[in-house]
Structure 1
Amino acid sequence: MFDSISSGGGLGRFQAASGTRPGSPAGLMPRCAATAVDLVIAVAVILVPLVGLDRILTAAGVADGDARVVWRATAALWVAAFLLLYSPLSVSRWGATPGKRALRLEVVRFATGDRIGYGSAVARHLTNLVVTGIPALCVANVSSINLNTDRRGMHDRASGSAVIHRR
């Protein structure tokens, strides 16, 4: 799909960066909406079990200091597991997170249009977390997605991926 790259740096097969034709690059707004859906899922998946653990520790009568240590350790492991599994596993296995699937978006390898592997998906996700956490990089990333014809952010370029409308 992305086998020909024009000399201008855009995707060779697409005249316009906007639009929702299958295979065309996804713009900023659908990507933001997909992220919003994924954030709602993340809050539910992370908080519900941790609130349940808090209730269990309280009901079991565990001392406050011990309960805090257990809860914090569990929370750290749970969040780390979620960060390393949710997006990377979804993208490498199904081509998209549930939020992207809901908005009919797909993450593909820029050069070939194939799915990206787990390692590339982890690199993409962790790069996105770093870029999003640093305001100047976040602005540059949004500008990159919004202004370039290939609609690729820093995290896409770092992992060799692109987000497209599903075929």
Structure 2
Amino acid sequence: MPLATLGSRLAARLIDLLILFIPTYVAVAVAVEGGLWGTLLLSLLEMVVYDALLTANTGATPGKRMLRIKVVRVGTGAPAGWTASFLRALAIGVPSWLVTAVVVLLDERTHRGQHDLLAGTVVIAV
């Protein structure tokens, strides 16, 4: 299976963050006095739910679909499934993006971050 590039993975994540962050920021700014921290916490929770549901159902978030990549199980190429998708999303949601980025950069062979290692998944090009 051809692996997704680091650049396509990062671009997909940025697209997904924009899809979630902009509406959340507007909603929180208008309806709640939470400010930036409230927006960030709500966005973090949304990202976990968004990523888990979409990855379990389709293997890809809108950002991943735009860049023609998806999440599958290592070795089999089968869909990630609910448990792996939830574990993966939870690991992404934990504010550890710097650690994930370092792990991905060091794992030149498979480009798997800590969330992929935990869930037994890999991101491939489709």
Q: Which TM-score band applies after superposition, normalised by the shorter structure?
A: 0.7 to 0.9
Q: Which residue of 2 aligns with 1:43?
A: 21
| Partner Cα distance (2:4, 2:40) in 1 | 33
Is residue 2:104 matched to residue 1:142? yes
Report if the CA contact (8 A) 1:131-1:138 is conserved: no
Q: Which residue of 2 aligns with 1:156?
A: 116
TM-score normalized by the length of structure 2 = 0.80
Structure with bigger helix share is: 2
Report if the CA contact (8 A) 2:68-2:125 is conserved: yes
Structural RMSD (CA): 2.5
- Percentage of pairs with the same residue: 31
Q: Which residue of 2 aligns with 1:86?
A: 50
How many residues of Structure 1 are paired with residues of Structure 2 in the alignment?
A: 124
Report if the CA contact (8 A) 1:34-1:103 is conserved: yes
Structure 1 gaps, min length 5: 1-22, 55-67
- Higher mean C-alpha displacement, 30-39 vs 110-119: 110-119
Which 4+ runs in 1 deviate beyond 6 A?
none
